[in-house]
């Protein structure tokens, strides 16, 4: 358990180093991606979250690990998560403190064309059930990156090469290894839960979240498959309250297969990607923070 004082300004900053996790949402993504039989792999490390405590509505955040997919004859319809939380962060506004318990870092399994789903579940618990108005509570992510790793020129060539400093976050010459922005390969989904919804969810042998009940508001990356175009948003709104009763917000973070495929096609045949410098491996690192307003 770790205890940290809240900052006195309007933002609470919870910082996680790569080697020492306080709230490393994306040590979460210390993951491997196999690139369509070419053995391309991706790993990622931690970052930090920023919580705006304007009204003190956020009580805690619980972490849950992935169990399995939910299926029907038509395919995958949702995700199952193990019911026991593996980590927790609690905000105590009266004592001006943050308590971090257990494991708030998760490793995702290998991404392959046959196994693309390896989500992480975070449940944002509010201090009570609120009857929200539009935009009264929101969760955002923000990065200083301004371009998608898979961005192309008009002639279809990569906007930046993989060894261009505009493409990677950092370079470790001892390995050697480049680390690329994780924002380019992540997607987000959420589900609002009333107190009754949450109690029903937690009573199951697994925490079952169906896609038909979840919403994807914004990601960092938008892929338009029809025109084979991409767009990048440095500050997506992952969740924005509408009008209704909400006590908990389930936020799912997972790989974004469309973005991964787009990056792959952008660099297919590229000397940097297929040359000896990468030894058939790519590594991604968290490049964003989260902000919670309300």
Q: Domain extents for the chain?
A: 2-293
Summarize the confidence of residues 11-27 as an average pLDDT: 32
How do residues 195-234 score in pLDDT, each as one tens digit? Answer: 999 999 999 999 999 999 999 999 999 998 766 789 999 9
DSSP string, 147-192: S-TT-B-TTSSBSS-TTSTTT-SEEETTTTEEEEEGGGGEEEEEEE
pLDDT band for position 29 (50/70/90)? Answer: very low
Check: CB of residue 155 under 8 Å from CB of residue 246: no
SS3 80: strand
CA atoms of 141 and 232, how far apart (whole Å): 13
- For residue 112, what is the DSSP state? B
pLDDT on residue 19: 28
Check: CB of residue 14 under 8 Å from CB of residue 49: yes
How do residues 77-130 score in pLDDT, each as one tens digit? Answer: 999 999 999 888 888 878 777 777 776 654 455 566 666 777 889 999 999 999
DSSP string, 20-77: S-SS-TTGGG---B--TTS----------EEEE-SS--EEEEEEE-EEEEEEETTEEE
pLDDT on residue 34: 35
Among residues 221, 294, 290, 218, which one has the least CA distance to residue 25?
290
Task: Tell me the whole-structure pTM to 2 decimals.
Answer: 0.80
How do residues 251-266 score in pLDDT, each as one tens digit? Answer: 998 888 888 888 888 8
Q: Cα separations (Å) of 142 from 45, 47, 50, 106, 249?
A: 17, 12, 10, 21, 19
């Amino acid at each position: 358990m770790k205890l940290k004082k809240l900052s006195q300004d309007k933002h609470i900053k919870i910082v996680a180093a790569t080697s020492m996790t306080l709230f490393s949402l994306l040590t979460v993504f210390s993951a491997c991606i196999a690139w369509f039989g070419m053995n391309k792999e991706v790993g990622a490390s931690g970052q930090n979250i920023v919580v705006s405590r304007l009204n003190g509505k956020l009580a805690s955040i619980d972490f849950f690990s992935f169990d399995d997919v939910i299926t029907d004859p038509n395919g995958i319809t949702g995700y199952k998560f193990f019911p026991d939380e593996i980590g927790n962060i609690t905000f105590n506004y009266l004592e001006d403190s943050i308590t971090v318990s257990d494991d708030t870092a998760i490793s995702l399994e290998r991404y392959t064309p046959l196994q693309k789903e390896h989500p992480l579940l975070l449940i944002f618990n509010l201090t009570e059930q609120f009857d929200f108005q539009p935009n009264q509570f929101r969760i955002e992510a923000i990065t200083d990156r301004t371009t998608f790793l898979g961005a192309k020129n008009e002639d279809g060539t990569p906007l930046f090469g993989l060894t261009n400093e505009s493409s990677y976050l950092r370079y470790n010459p001892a390995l050697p290894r480049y680390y690329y922005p994780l924002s380019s390969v992540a997607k987000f989904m959420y589900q609002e839960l009333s107190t009754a919804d949450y109690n029903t969810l937690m009573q199951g042998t697994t925490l079952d979240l169906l896609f038909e009940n979840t919403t994807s508001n914004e990601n960092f990356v938008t892929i338009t498959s029809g025109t084979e175009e991409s767009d990048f948003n440095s500050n997506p709104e992952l969740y924005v309250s509408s009008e209704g009763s909400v006590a908990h917000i389930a936020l799912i973070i997972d790989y974004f297969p469309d973005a991964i495929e787009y990056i792959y096609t952008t660099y297919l045949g590229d000397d940097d990607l297929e040359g000896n410098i990468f030894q058939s491996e790519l590594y991604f690192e968290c490049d964003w923070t989260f902000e919670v307003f309300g």
